[in-house]
Structure formats: C-alpha cells, structure tokens
Structure 1
Amino acid sequence: MNDLLNTALGYVTPVLEFALAWIIDPANWVQFALLVGAYVAAVFITRKFNPRITKLLTPAQESTTILSQTRRFILIFLPLLLPLLAFGLTAVGEQVTRSIFGSGEVIAFGKRVFLFLAARAFVRDMLSDPLLKMVGKVVLVPLAAVYALGFLDPVLAWLETTVVPLGNMSFSVLGLLRFLVVATIMFWLGRWSNDQSSALIEKQEMRPATRQLAAKATEIAIFGAAFLVAMNIAGVPLTSLAVLTGALGVGIGFGLQKIASNFVSGVILLLEGQATVGDYVELDGGETGTIVKMTARAAILETYDGKWIVVPNEDFIVTRVINYSDSGSANRYDVTFSVSYDTDINKIPDIVAPAVAALDFILNDPMPPDVELENFGDSGIDFIVEFWVNGIDDGRFKYRSHVRFAVWNALKEAGIEIPFPQRVVEIKGGFPKGLTE
C-alpha cells in the first residue's frame, strides 16, 4: 500500500508544483485578465455594432444588382465577427505580455481557442451546402480543436506517417484528408460556377438547342477543369491518367458503342435543331409526344396521357421522325361531316365557314376556314372543313372537338339534318307465312 501511495504521489507532486507555480506567477494572472478582457470587449463591440452593420448592409428584398448581391454575401460572414475580434484583441494582449513578462502561453492558448470558435461558427452558421458542412464537421473543426490544444504538429506528423495501403499504391492519412478537402472545395466551386454560367446563358438570345448545347459544354469544361486541378493539388500525377484514358477509349470502342453514338447524336441534334425541347414529334413506331428534356443520352417525350417515353438520341438521326413544328407555328387540320340528301348543299359553305371562323383559335392567315364537298356517301353528302390554328391538335387543346361542336350547332340552327346510316334490306321470296299472319 505504501509503494502504491508513493507512486501516486510521484505523479501528483509535479502536477501540484506546476499548478502552484502557475498560480503564484503574476504574468499568468495578467494574461488571464487580458484574455477575459479581450473577450468581454469583443462581446460588447459586437452587440453594439452588429445591428448597425446588419441594417447598413441589408439591401432591399427585391434588389438584384451586383452591389446588393455583394452586400448579402458580406452579411454571411457576420457570425465570425465575435471570435475574430476576440482573436485580434487577444493577439494585441499577447504582444504586450511578451514584451513585459517575456511569456504569453496562457493568452496564446486563449487566442487559439478563439480561432477554434471561429472555425466552428464558420461551419455551423455559414456553410449551407450539405457536402461542405459535412467536410467542415469531419475535418476542419477537429483540426481546429487539436490546434487549440497545441497538438497540431504532432498530430499532423502522425497522420503523415500513417500509411493506408491500396493495392500496389499507398497513401498517407494526411494525403487522403487533403484530397478530400480539395476535391470537395473544387466540386463546390465547379457547381457554383456552373450555376452562374447556366443562368448567364439562359439570359442570352439564342435558339433553345444552342443554349442547351452551350450549357452542357460549359458544364463539362468546368467539372473537367475542377477534376484536373483537384488531382494536381492532391499530388496525383496526371500522367497516370493516360492509362485510364486509354482503357476508357477501348471500352467505348467495344462495349460503349451505343452510348457514344447517342452522345454524338445528341450533340448533332443540339447543333442542327432538328428536334429540341418543346417540339411535338411522332416516332417511327407511332408514339407521339412533346420533348420535355434532352440529355446526353436520350430525349424524354411526354405524352398527353401522362406517360414519359425515353427515346435514344440515335433514333432521331437514323429513323423516320415527324416533327410537327416548333412551338407557335401554324398548322392545318380538317373535320369531316355529312348532311342529308334533302339539303341544299349550296348553302353549307356559307353556314359552316363563318361558324368555324368565329372560334377564337382559328387563323385567317395563311387561309380562312374552307368548306369543300368531299363525297356523295351512302347515307348523306360528305363535306370537309379545313382550318388553320396556331399550335398542334395533340389531344390537349382539342381543336377538332371545338370545331365539331361549332359545325353541329350551326347546322342545327339552320335546320339541316345530319343523317345517320341507313340500309335497305330486301328479303327474297317474301316473308314466311307464320310472320305475315
């Protein structure tokens, strides 16, 4: 028992002596007082000036100018004001204590703590992107905590010497963390740049196909550059990608022919404008629909019964596809109807044509509604009315349905009968005797 007690005292005694020496050292108390004073001053300043800064930098809600966007961006950094201000005041106090007492370990520790608080506020309050926030919580905040405790150099040295084998290659844990941080930042910058460039391209006056091609080309260029920069910063030699590129070329040549063909076909469609978003098309198999989206591999057709049809881009190049028109072009349609043989057919054009022309969607240019005699049918005289509309009768607008209503109402008001099928049945030999009695 005595040996155990002596061993415990051997550990505790140096700690007590260090604590006693720290307590009786006036330099430590001065540093501690300066540290508390710096924090209190930072709290007082931020509470007094934060509302004024917020009011000064907050633009009108509807304003979208560059200056307004810059002011909103600066406001994002407002949560860092307190810890960074405390850090700056503490740094001044450290210079004072080192010049007077020749030491400043306590206040230096406090300065590192304020820097840790700044890193935590940055991750918690400023980062809104989920990926960046995750990397900040996993990497930035722990490293800031280790730095605040004064163990950053030994921890970095341990991470550098800890090697993770991966097949014939090996990476240090520090290298993997560096690659994770750099790749995340580059990916976020690439996505932000792509959003900005896409918004800029959307404002340009150009054909939808050209606009979409420009957006896709910009996206590929931005993320390709981000990938190369991330590889270079992480220390991965770009010459090693030559093997991967060669293997990818072989794969495209043998196993990815259709994908490559569809990609090239998509670029051709975007360049030539044969089919673009908003067009109403009929495929070689009879399916019809409006193109709602075009990707690198396929076009998405939406039918008017709610179904989506995925059509490979190659089909628009190598098969017969009817593109009825771009949005807003004029198209001609026709509706057939019949009247009784007792009708004065010379009056039909004057009755039907004005009724159809009165519909609000009927165009007079390039030609007003035209009523023509089509045929002498079995049950009546067949007519056809041709009309032009601005758009496509795809089942959603129901142009033909409205025209048929107008024809029916016009003929009814004129007292003209629309015949139903009539048949003459001849019974050879007469009726059986049982049926005649």
Structure 2
Amino acid sequence: MDFDLENQPEIVRQAVDLGLQGWELARGWLLSPAAWTQFALLVGAFIVALLVTRKIRPALTRLLSPPEDQNGMIATARRTVLAFLPLILPLLAYLFTGVGEGVVRSLFDSGEVIAFGKRVFLFLAARILVKEIIDEPFLNALGRFVLLPMAALYALGLLDDVSLWLSETTVGLGNIRFSLIALARGVIAGSLLFWFGRWSNDQSAAFLKKQEQMRPATRELAIKAAEIAIFGLAFILLMNIMGVNLSTLAVLGGAIGVGLGFGLQKIASNFISGVILLLEGQATVGDYVELDGGEAGTIVKMTARAAILETFDGRWIVVPNEDFITTRVVNYSDSGSANRYEAPFSVSYDTDINKVPKIIESAVAKLPFVLQEPDGPDCELRGFGDSGIDFAVEFWVNGIDDGRNKFTPKVLFAVWNALKDNNIEIPYPHRVVELKGGLPAPTE
C-alpha cells in the first residue's frame, strides 16, 4: 500500500506507519496456522477456566464466608479474601494459557498471539479489581486513572514505548530538570505512600485508644509519636523513590529554621507546648478544664497546634496549646477522679435541727451516683438566715456537675422528699407590715 505522505505532518506520517505495521501484523496472524492454533488455545483456556470457576467458586464462597455475628481478625481476613474471588476467572485463564504456551512455542517457534492473549487476561483482571473489588474512593480513582490505562497499554504492547517517551521528555523548573516519568512516578508513589500512611495512622490510633491500662496522656503521646514516625518514613521513602539526595534537605531545613524564627513562632510554640502537655499529662482528653481567659469545657481532642474543648451546650472551643503552659489552668477531672459538690437548703426555725443531718445524709447516701469514698454525704449547719436555718449537704461523685451528669438537682429532690417525709417545713420569707397611726376611718 503506497501513500503520498510527503506533504503531511510528522504525526500523521507516524500514525499511518503504525497503522500499516498493525495491518501487516494482523494479516500475518490471520494467514498463519500458528496464529490460529494459539487463538484456539486462548479460547480453550478461557472455556476451561470458566468451567473450573463455576465449580470451585461456590465452594470457596461457602468456605470463606464467616458467620454474620463474627467480627474478629480472622473473620475480617476471610471477608477480605472473599472479596477477591471475582479474580479467579481471568487468573485461571492466564494460568492455563501459560501452561500451553510452552507447547505452542516448541511446535511453531512463535507465541505472539498467545502472549497478547495473556496480556488481555491481565487487563481483564485489573478491570475486575477496579470495578468490583476496590471500593475505597482514593484507591478506586487511582485504579481507574492509572492502573487501567497502564494495563491497556501493556495489553497492546505499547507500555515500553510510552515509558521510553516519558523518560526522554523532560521539563524544567528553574535550574532543576526532571523527566515526565519521574514526575508521574513521584505523584503515584507519593499518593500511595501518604494514603497508606493515613490508613496506618488511623489503625495505630484505634489500637492505642483501646489500651485502657495506659494513661490518657500517654496514649495521646503514643498516637502523636506514631503519626510523626509514619509520615516521616513515608516522606523519606518518597524522596528515595524520586531520586532526591536527602543531604540536600539540609538547605531546606535551614530555611525552615529561619521561618520558624520569624513567621512561625506561634506554630512552633504551640507544637512544643502540645508535646509538653502530653509528656506531663496534666491535661488530657476527657478532662474538664477552665482557663484564666474564661474558656471552660471537656477536652475532646488534642492536636499538634491546639486543644479542642466541648462546652456543656455542645459548642467547641479551640484553645492554643501555649495557653495551657503560660496561663493558670484549673483541671476539675483527671481520668474520672472524684469531685465534691454541695447542695444548700433551709429548714424552719420550728425544726429540731439535731435530727436534720442524719435524715439528709441517709437520704442522699441512697442515691446511686453518690460515693462513699473518699467520704460519704456530710450535712452541715451553715448559719441562721432571715427566714430559716441554713444547711448544706456535701457529697462526692465521679464526674462534673451541671454538665452531662447533673447531680445537684437530683440531690435537692432527695432532700425535699426526705424533709417532707419527716414533716419538716421548708421556710419561705415572711414579712410584717406595721401601720403607724392606726387604720384610716372608712368613708361613707
């Protein structure tokens, strides 16, 4: 076939040349007994793989399916393996094709068709992996936009040519020049490494949070140390993959040091303060704290820069870690320690006040949240008021009052009921009005 391509662009001439090469290859396959034999072997391998898959896949499904109520490590591993069963068909076809490939090559000294078929089976396996198995959004996107195009190029035999073109094509950024394949390798490897780092960090954090024998502050410190170690290792691996000499990072470290000395002082201060807080353990997740600035709430999260407080009305307050170091902090709870509160009340002046403490202490002690250690309920006489005699009952509880657990209202209910059951009057203000000069005469 002759074409006049002298006046056509270079890309058109290359495309026509590739098309002619493909046509010659296809015509050679169509007219070759070896090609037809290899094609028949591919079809036979696929049919055998299909029949074997129909036999073994139901049995493997029954074997690997754990009971629905099991959620342990072994059950999770079985469900993970079960998700990969759709790969059985293309992988078996690839395996059976490989078994017959040696025989065909020994007879015809040719194996292009069967090699192409094997690559197609691998492409089908990659497609099933992306479409049916990978459900994590990031990995699925990486499979659709990276793995499938690479598998398609490999199936067509163009992967080496594309890789060579990407290696020879370079781009510049100032005095730095790098090839497109190095850039692509860095983006793909970086994405995978930092996704895996995030996943590993989530798993390690979940594992450490389950270690009840560790102090909360120690757990938080271990979580932060694991996070720094995981992402630091991911960064070092990425630099090695991209071929960056780590010794050159000394210049970058010096620049960062200068930046910390000027514009990043607060960030560095908060980061170091956060490490000190975790090491000392004076305030950690779960503690109810109050700062000099008026911020008060339960610490629900501690980050590298700040602590997040949750108030009783559900609002979140972000407090820089530095404030915990440089200002006074009142910690009302340390890992669920007991706290003492009091509930004031009054009784009438007609009451035998010697009986009141025993009645009130007995009633309050029956409440399930009131502790007997370090001390049980204690009813004390506080003074003689204008309308009645003032008492207060002190009690110990685990937790913070007037928050998620409102203890004082329940204690006051118990005091009210105990006084009523013993016919003790709760006073209310009385006022005496004196009229000087007597009452005015009625008018007719």
TM-score computed with the length of structure 1 as normaliser: 0.88
Answer yes or no: is 1:255 the counterpart of 2:299: no
| Kept after mapping to 2: 8 A contact 1:127/1:133 | yes
Alpha-carbon deviation of 1:144? 1.5
Whether the aligned pair in 1 keeps the contact of 2:200 and 2:230 (CA below 8 Å) is yes
- Whether 1:383 aligns to 2:391 is yes
Query: Are the structure 2 counterparts of residues 436 and 260 from structure 1 closer, same or farther at C-alpha, using a change threshold of 3 Å?
Result: farther
Deviation track 1:79-116 (CA, whole Å, cap 9, x = no partner) reads 22222222222233332222212222222221221122
CA distance in 1, matches of 2:441, 2:340: 58
In 2, Cα distance between the equivalents of 1:72 and 1:414? 65
Residues in 1 aligned to 2:113 and 2:342: alpha-carbon distance in whole angstroms: 91
Number of the residue aligned with 2:376 = 368
Q: CA deviation at 1:325?
A: 2.2
Q: CA deviation at 1:28?
A: 2.1
Instruction: Tell me how far 1:388 sits from its aligned partner.
Output: 2.3
Cα RMSD, aligned residues only = 3.0
| Residue identity matched to 1:225 | L
Match of 1:90 in 2: 97
Residue-by-residue CA offset, 1:224-264 (whole Å, 9 max, x unaligned): 10111011112222233222222211111211222211111
Report the Cα offset of residue 146 of structure 1: 1.4
1:48-71 CA-to-partner distances (Å, cap 9, x unmatched) read 111222323334445566555544
Offset at residue 323 of structure 1 (A): 0.9
Instruction: Find the aligned partners of 1:248 and 1:384 in 2 and give their Cα distance.
Output: 59
CA–CA separation in structure 2 for the residues paired with 1:257 and 1:13: 66
CA contact (8 A) 1:329 1:390 kept: yes
Give the residue type in structure 2 aligned to 1:190: G
Q: CA deviation at 1:213?
A: 0.8
User: Which residue number in structure 1 is paired with residue 192 of structure 2?
Assistant: 185
- Equivalence map 1:165-314=2 (5 Å): 165-204=172-211, 205-314=213-322
1:55-94 aligned at under 5 Å gives the runs: 55-63=62-70, 67-94=74-101
**Partner amino acid, structure 2, of 1:118:** A
When the two structures are superposed, what TM-score results if normalisation uses the length of structure 2? 0.87
Structure 1 regions of 5+ residues with no counterpart? 5-10
Shift in Å, 1:360: 2.5
Secondary structure at 1:315 match in 2: helix
Residue 181 of structure 1: CA displacement?
2.1
CA distance in 2, matches of 1:420, 1:349: 20
User: Percent identical across equivalent pairs?
Assistant: 64
Does the CA contact (< 8 Å) of 1:139 and 1:177 recur in 2? no
Inter-partner Cα distance in structure 2 for 1:360 and 1:185: 53
Counterpart mapping for 1:396-415 below 5 A: 396-415=404-423
Q: Is the 8 A contact 1:194 1:218 kept in 2?
A: yes
Q: 1:170 to 1:431 in 2, by over 3 A?
A: farther
Unaligned runs of 5+ in 2: 5-16
Contact 1:327 1:391 (8 Å CA) reproduced: no
Change (3 A) 1:14 1:153: closer
Structure 2 counterpart SS, 1:325: coil
When residues 18 and 140 of structure 1 are mapped into structure 2, their CA distance, relative to the original with a 3 A threshold, is closer
Closer, same or farther in 2 for the Cα pair 1:33/1:351, shift >3 Å? closer
Aligned residue runs from structure 1 range 43-192, under 5 A = 43-63=50-70, 67-192=74-199
Contact 1:93 1:107 in 2 (8 A): no
What amino acid is aligned across from residue 265 of structure 2 in structure 1? Q
